[in-house]
Chains A and B, each alone.
Chain A
């Protein structure tokens, strides 16, 4: 693809030199000129780096000097023997599934609540949505305070008598991942709810009234009528949550930095760590695995959701 952008460049010069007077509506070059700036930026800062990741992943490139040696598949062999990387892969997929399920369940509940004839509907929607606009580092710090040894969670739990001894929640290997899940889901409940809400509001009243006349109770009505009609927004929300969390980085970096041990290490945080350690070749190999990993899992989720949507139509 790199050659095509060079060809394009040559054509551009050619066009300006010889056909300057003919840049008219039907001229082919004017459209090329329009596409060119974005094409160059996209090639230089997205496609070329992504493609060269394939190449660098076969080397011991350190990102600074170009006298690297070719290693073949060694980086990949090492990666799959490294227990911590396997752990990061399983953490990532576990985190994605947990977040997707929780975020959608809570978001849908909130949307159903907001869809009632409430007086405070608009203000509630605004308030619920606002965490989605706070940056992940701020969210991470808010929750690292909540989970802190002297933080509100310990204080409240102790006062209510649920725990005898206070603990540093995020220092607990068996809890840390759930802590990050809570913080992440907290940020996006409102966003998810708003997407469900728009879909709920598009369901015609007649459909619901008809089911009422047929004697369906509200439980049946939800699962048989409303939930299937929410298929489009479910697809969007599940895909957004799932593909977003497969590359989760900042909230982890701010909240636990992958610790304690490797209990919250994700693929993306691992990659950035290796880059900052100047293990760029190794990081590139991880990046390639992340690419196939997201392609595979997003593909599975996407196919499943599409099939499900088609069934309901």
Chain B
């Protein structure tokens, strides 16, 4: 397409302006987060007249940042690492079983059914189950819910991939006397890196930002994750928007930093997850 230089510049300006408007709320809270409380309420839209970084120190302490950050990291790490390993193992088992194929085929169908079950449908009894298993307020316990709930998408994604991997490599390893676990860990798992990365990214973003599961299963103060702490933070500091926004920024930073460095992988990971 041939477009004149003027219209090219015009489109560019329009796009930049639109993006700036969309991004403005984040700039806005960034500016308010360094204002004094009185300036934040008297002139919310102006550029800060002085930078009060003390807000961040206060927010950091008041939201018990190190504690909630550690909780979020632990929950995300356990559910992602353990989850992805177990999913990969199960997907391999389903795709490569030699005998009783109908059984593995029905496992597969059973796993896929979860795609149409809303998480809220399983919630009411799950509360009871978690209480009975004494897993309330336990981060590893909640990871089990997340792993169980993420099964459908993971199996769909991984089985779809394994079915495209030719058997030849595995066959030759078998002739060399390798067992299925060896073949899985030395060959197939390594070939599965792309869909596994997709799964890791999907899982990290979802678990890190998850609010409903921690709200119901991690109600104790010491087990709170970042989104949950942010939620309660507003109730306690309702009148100080500057402090709240410092807390919001602090809660956004970890994932946005990761995103900044890995954005190409994250965007393509979230996309190939969406396509499934």
Contact = CB atoms under 8 A, between A and B. Distances in A.
Interface stretch (A44-52, A77-85, A95-103, A165-173): A44-52
B47 interface: no
Given A38-B86, A247-B120, A287-B118, A45 B180 contact: no
Contacts of B230: 135, 137-138, 141
A138 B251 contact: yes
Grouping DSSP codes into helix (H, G, I), strand (E, B) and loop, the A interface class, with mixed when no group exceeds half, is helix
Contacts of B131: 63-64
Interface stretch (B7-15, B49-57, B61-69, B191-199): B7-15
**For A34, A125, A150, which residue has the most chain B Cβ atoms within 10 angstroms?**
A34
B81 interface: no
Nearest to B212: A249
Contact of B16 (A48, A120, A212, A272): A120
Contacts of A191: 270
Interface residues of A, number: 100
A38 B15 contact: no
Given A35-B107, A120-B16, A130-B259, 17 more contacts: A23-B179, A23-B180, A24-B179, A30-B181, A42-B110, A44-B148, A63-B128, A64-B128, A110-B18, A113-B11, A142-B26, A152-B28, A191-B270, A250-B212, A272-B216, A291-B116, A291-B117
Interface of B: 1, 3, 8, 11-12, 14-16, 18-19, 22-23, 25-26, 28-29, 41, 44-45, 86-87, 89-90, 92-94, 96-100, 104, 107, 110-111, 113-114, 116-129, 131, 144-145, 147-149, 151, 155, 174, 178-181, 183-184, 205, 208-209, 211-212, 215-216, 226-227, 230-231, 234, 241, 244-245, 248, 251-252, 255-256, 259-260, 263, 266-267, 270-271, 274-275
23 contacts: A25-B183, A27-B180, A28-B100, A30-B93, A30-B181, A31-B180, A37-B89, A44-B129, A44-B144, A49-B122, A63-B127, A113-B11, A116-B8, A116-B12, A124-B15, A124-B16, A129-B263, A133-B259, A133-B266, A135-B209, A136-B209, A280-B128, A291-B116
Interface of A: 1, 23-28, 30-35, 37-39, 41-50, 52-53, 56, 61, 63-64, 110, 113-114, 116-120, 124-138, 141-143, 145-146, 150-152, 155-156, 186, 189-191, 194-195, 198, 208, 212, 236, 240, 246-247, 249-250, 253-254, 267-268, 271-272, 275-276, 280-281, 283-284, 286-288, 290-291, 294-295, 298
